[in-house]
């Protein structure tokens, strides 16, 4: 099931390459992309709980699009990120023992900044927030970008997402590679 689900961004990229984005509204400073990677979930906090644990190691995937601001090194981006399935177990002194297993999918808004390094290479960083399964999700990340043409590039990123939910708070680290198509 994970492998079938992990092919979604690859399929998205193939469709983008085939159609040339002719159906996407023209924006000379925009971009769209999709990526896959490895997501690893860990415990962030057990505040006010007697005992807790969180686990999850999965394929992660994301689909995103953004628009550059007047400053060409800053963009506003919207994304949907699938961080895989996590399992939580916790004990509350008032309510007893709880267990929850769920797929973590979040819709996020990010501010993305880029700094040129050399030639087609740039460093990039991101910070943002959103909602996943009725919960607040925040995230930050850093990576490198290589533009192999005026229209396409690849982004390699490390991102950390924090999920604030009932029970133990957890974080998920996502290491991903994304193909990006620039709407120029």
Confidence band (pLDDT; 50, 70, 90) for 48? low
Q: What is the pTM of this model?
A: 0.79
The domain that contains 44 carries what CATH number? 2.40.160.20
Distance CA 27, CA 143 (A): 24
12 lies in a domain? yes
Is pLDDT at 18 greater than 70 in this prediction? no
The better pLDDT of the pair 22, 121 is held by: 121
The β-bridge partners of 143 are: 124, 157
Domain count, the chain: 1
- The helix, strand and coil proportions of the chain, stated in percent and rounded to the nearest 5, come to 10, 70, 20
Q: Which domain holds residue 89?
A: 2-21+33-183
pLDDT in tens, 135-154: 888 999 999 999 999 999 99
Is pLDDT at 13 greater than 90 in this prediction? no
96 lies in a domain? yes
Residue found by looking up tokens 């057990």 in the block: 46
27 lies in a domain? no
């Amino acid at each position: 099931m994970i492998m079938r689900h992990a092919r979604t961004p690859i399929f998205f990229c193939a469709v983008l390459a085939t159609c040339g984005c002719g159906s996407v509204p023209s924006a000379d400073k925009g971009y769209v992309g999709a990526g896959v990677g490895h997501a690893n979930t860990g415990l962030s906090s057990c505040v006010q709980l007697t005992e807790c644990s969180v686990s999850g190691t999965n394929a992660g995937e994301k689909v995103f699009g953004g628009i550059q601001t007047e400053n060409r090194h800053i963009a506003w981006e919207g994304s949907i990120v699938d961080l895989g399935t996590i399992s939580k177990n916790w004990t509350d002194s008032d309510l007893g023992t709880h267990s929850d297993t769920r797929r973590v999918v979040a819709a996020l808004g990010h501010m993305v900044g880029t700094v040129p390094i050399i030639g087609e290479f740039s460093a990039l960083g991101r910070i943002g927030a959103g909602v996943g399964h009725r919960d607040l999700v925040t995230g930050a990340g850093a990576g490198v970008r290589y533009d192999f043409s005026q229209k396409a590039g690849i982004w390699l990123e490390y991102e950390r997402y924090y999920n604030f939910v009932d029970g133990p708070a957890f974080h998920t680290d996502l290491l991903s590679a994304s193909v990006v198509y620039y709407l120029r």
